[in-house]
Amino acid sequence: MSNQMYNKMWHQTQEALNTLLDKESEKMTEPQRNKVIVFQMLATFYIKYVQIFRNMENVYDQIVHPQKRVLIRKILDGVMGRVLELKNEMVELEMTEFHYFDDILQDLKLAPQQLDVPIPRYFLKERLEVIKGREKILARILNECGLNLPDVKFAVKSLALEEAVKMIQIAERARQGRLRAMFMKQIFLQECRAKEIKLLGQRLADTSLAALQIQKVWRGFHQSKKTVKEREEEMVFLGMKPPHIFNEISAATIQSERVTRLRNEVQLKHEQNYKEALVNIKEELKLMEGPDIKEHLQDQIRQWFIECRNLTGTFPDYPNVEDGGSAIIFSNKTPEQVIEDILANQEEEEKLKKKKKKEEKESKPKKGKKAKEKKSNQKEKVVKEEDEEWKMSPSLFLQLMEEGNSLYKDTWMNKDESWNFPQDYDPEMIKEEKRKELEFEIRVQVDELMRQELRNLKLAVNKEIEHPARGKKGKKQGKGKKGKKKGKRGKKDKDLTADRTIESLYKELVEKGLLIQALKVNLSDYIGEYSYLGTTLRQVAIEPMPSLLDVRQLITLYGILPLGSAEVHEKAPWVKSLLLVGPSGVGKKMLVHAICTETGANLFNLSASNIAGKYPGKSGLQMMLHLVFKVARELQPSVVWIQDTEKTFYKRVPQAEKLNEPKRLKKHLPKLLKLLKPDDRILIVGTTQRPFDAELQSFCRVYQKIILVPRPDYASRYVLWKQIILRNGGVLTNALNISCLSKVTDGFTQGQIVKVVKDVLTDRRIRQQAYKPLTGVEFITMMTSMNPVYKEEEECFKNWYDKTPLGRKRVMSLTVGGSREKEKEKEKGKKKGKKGKKK
């Protein structure tokens, strides 16, 4: 796609955003009591913002104009934050983390794939050099310590000499046997042919009949092959069969990657030119226009002095530096307008004084009525509480988007760019920006000069001397109090490693095994399918188990987006900690590593088994946590992972684990969460497969968001089998019934499916596929030794989740809603009965 295409795409997205902002401002003013209507409204906005988010992210990644990119980035962060805000609103409304939009997607004529929240590519692209540098340092430290992970692919098993000789002999004898068998087969076939020729010698004399027979057989064979090929092509076209060259990259993909790479190079070049131009143009303006600006400002302020003296009889007080100096008075105003404002302010002050006197006189006799008014107000409040209207919580991102939208309208909407074909920076726009900056810098200098000039004028004309403000005693007292407060803070936030560098702390954590290397796993590798019947099941009062893609979306919203963008993390609903609950093999560990891969975050491992025996004692534990969180803050974004986190919150510690002290972090984790600030892009992630063993209250106090990761349903298993077989070099044929395989493997987890596929598809088996296609029996026989996740176990997880704060609220809302509906039905029935009796 060319620059023009991406510009067009940007303009279309901006139009869609503009209409959506207008709609949102209209809808938010309308009062609503019906929760269903409110949810549909929020869900519609959420889906539309996700569409805009996807388009805007694509535009930001591909557009090369540096000034446009600055504005697009601002709007992109705003849209991203608004998506998170709407998600939070839906969670508070429905009391559940999982939402289903089947009916709304149908109305909007969108596919479920368009609901997937994208991960901005700039998270990694803009920090690529930093991430690569950190990975090199980590790899070097791991190699020095001998902690690097062994590469399983190149592991060589040593053999004794006798065993090696025996193996070679077996292989050689087998080869010779195969050759001899082939040779004997050829001799046998030749003898058979000779016999046939003798018996059928006379019949073969008629060559035309023989040719006709050959033609018949050949044409039939050729047509059947052609039909099979056409059938397969049709199935591939319809998406019912994967293409044969699944793992091979097409020429179009290679070309698009090359264009993207070139575009990225142009982006970097234009960005560099833009940064250089910012400095150079400012220096030029300083030389050319600086003296004129200074002279103009001085004349403007002097005129203000004289006009104020003529109107009020005294010279004005000069505004302080803290208040903004003369910029407050002359913000886009002429001296004449400033004088008019002064006169208007004086008149307003006089009017306010008169009003206050009248109010004081009127308020004296109305003291007796206050008690009655209070009682009536209380009654009104009770009535309002009973019939509450839903209100959207104030947004911190709407203003950001509106500012960006108005900037787009003013600057880029109708801008003629016919002269700027390569889409490099616009020098005139830079001059406008830098003039304002230069004026501000010069104004600070001018203010200092004019303050002195005002003092001299006052001395010369009025003989006034400016005395410093009194009240030293109060100030001293204040200082004393502040000093005490600082002392208290100093004790709390005492830096235990003030004399050490971050590099040395980083090295120590790596050597101790607390800072580990994250596996290179993308979130898109977490394969699953959408839940297409979520809304339908909820309408029949059945709570569906979340699908794998619902889990993937929550990881993007709560983990990846806030960690990737500093602005979104500061303003969006703040998620400090995340808990992934589910049976073994459902991909909890993979999701933790995916968060780190997608954001370029550091991974700290504070699992009970990992910290056992490290930094012993109270002081040691304090030092360990100080090191971890200091490095995490300095090298943010960071993820602190606690594997098998139920051990940290055990109800009863098993006898075998008492020596490891698994509950060391229990008291410290809530304190650490309180110390985290909005600037700290640190996420605490816990994973557990036995949440029942932990104390629920302390568990829920630490983990803000709890995500239940289920076993894969039929749709997810179907997609999973297909993708994993193809990724591991398998070929899908009619001999392998994926649908049947998915049905039979109900209850088995993703980890088990991946393990089975890898065990079956060895190098030898992959080579044999040409004449021996894969069958479902091969995979099923491998799974007979594995234990699936039974429904009873899944129900245990579901029941445990219902005891969590959000789960309890959800159950309460469903029971209250159901009882209300029953009461209404009873009332209707009674009314009908009364009417029947009257008749």
How far from chain centre, in Å, is Cα 380?
Answer: 43
Question: Under 8 Å CB-to-CB from 123, ≥6 apart: which residues?
Answer: 560, 564, 565, 598, 599, 600
Average pLDDT over residues 160-179: 92
Under a CB-based contact definition with an 8 Å cutoff, are residues 670 and 702 in contact? yes
Q: What are the tens digits of pLDDT across the range 644-657? A: 888 888 888 888 87
Q: What tokens does 267 get?
A: 């982006």
- Say if residues 123 and 564 touch (Cβ distance below 8 Å): yes
CB contact set of 615 (below 8 Å; sequence gap of 6+):
512, 621, 623, 624
What mean pLDDT comes out for the span 228-239?
86
State the pLDDT at residue 614.
85
Specify the pLDDT at position 469: 44
Q: So what's the pLDDT on residue 478?
A: 45
What pLDDT was estimated at residue 660?
78
Q: What integer is the mean pLDDT of 758-785?
A: 89
d(CA 120, CA 104): 25
Phi, psi of 420, deg, nearest 5: -110, 65
| Higher-scoring residue by pLDDT: 685, 150 | 685
Beta-strand relationship, 682-688 and 638-643: parallel
Q: Would you say residue 1 has pLDDT above 70?
A: no
The pLDDT score that the predictor gives to residue 292 is: 86
Q: Distance between CA 725 and CA 779 in Å, rounded?
A: 11
pLDDT at 27 over 80: no
SS3 of 497, please?
coil
- What is the residue-averaged pLDDT of the chain? 81
Residue with more model confidence, 328 or 111: 111
Whether 714 and 746 have beta carbons less than 8 Å apart is answered as yes
Output the six-digit token pair for 112.
């479920």
pLDDT band for 155, please (50, 70, 90 cuts): very low
Tens digit of pLDDT for each residue in 722-758?
A: 989 988 888 888 888 888 999 999 989 999 999 999 9
- pLDDT greater at residue 600 or residue 150: 600
For residue 555, the model assigns a pLDDT of 93
Q: What is the DSSP string of 39-98?
A: HHHHHHHHHHHHHHHHHHHHHHHH---HHHHHHHHHHHHHHHHHHHHHHHHHHHHHTSS-
Both tokens assigned to 545: 């188990």
Which residues, including other chains, have CB under 8 Å from residue 163's CB and lie 6 or more apart?
A: none
361 or 549, which is more confident: 549
Instruction: Tell me which of 486 and 416 has the higher pLDDT.
Output: 416
Q: What is the pLDDT of residue 485?
A: 42
Rounded Cα gap, residues 325 and 446, in angstroms = 10
3-state SS assignment for residue 316: coil
Give the pLDDT score at 534.
81
Residue 157 pLDDT grade (very low, low, confident, very high; cuts 50, 70, 90): low
Burial of 567 (0-12, 13-18, 19+ CB in 10 A): middle
CA distance 223 to 463: 114
Q: According to the model, what pLDDT value does residue 658 have?
A: 80
* Rounded CA separation 110/47 (Å): 10
DSSP string, 541-572: T--PPPPHHHHHHHHIIIIIHHHH-HHHHHHS
Question: Hey, which of 459-468, 541-550, 592-601 has the most confident mean pLDDT?
Answer: 592-601
Instruction: Look at residue 222 and tell me whether its pLDDT is greater than 90.
Output: yes
Model pLDDT, residue 172: 93
**68, pLDDT greater than 50:** yes
pLDDT at 217: 92
Q: Which has the minimum average pLDDT: 242-256, 357-371, 554-568, 739-753?
A: 357-371
Is the pLDDT higher at 335 or at 226? 226
* Residue 705 bridge partners (DSSP): 578
pTM tops 0.75, yes or no:
yes
Q: Are 640 and 606 in contact (CB under 8 A)?
A: yes
> Which pLDDT does position 203 carry in this prediction?
54
Question: Any idea of the CA torsion for 53, 55, 56, 61, to the nearest 10 degrees?
Answer: 120
Query: Which pLDDT value is given to residue 611?
Result: 86
What per-residue confidence (pLDDT) applies to 186? 92
Residue predicted with more confidence, 547 or 242: 547
Q: Give the integer Cα–Cα distance in Å for 635 and 589.
A: 22
Question: pLDDT above 90 covers what percent of the chain?
Answer: 18
Q: How far apart are CA 587 and CA 401, in angstroms?
A: 36
Q: CB-based burial of residue 644 (10 Å sphere; 0-12 exposed, 13-18 middle, 19+ buried)?
A: middle
CA dist., res. 364 & res. 532, Å (int): 68
Cβ density class 444-465: b for 16+ within 10 Å, e for less: eebbeebbebbeebbeeeeeee
477-534 pLDDT per residue, tens:
444 444 444 444 344 457 777 788 888 888 888 888 888 888 999 999 998 888 888 8
Check pLDDT > 70 for residue 379: no
CA-CA-CA-CA dihedral for 541, 546, 549, 551, to nearest 10: 130
Residue 825 pLDDT greater than 80, yes or no: no
pLDDT for 390-399, tens place per residue?
A: 777 788 888 8
CA distance 391 to 381: 16
Question: How many Å apart are CA 640 and CA 467, to the nearest integer?
Answer: 57
* pLDDT > 80? residue 550: yes
Contact 567/679 with Cβ under 8 angstroms?
A: no
Secondary structure element (H or E) that encloses residue 355, with its range: helix 335-363
- Sequence letter at residue 191: E
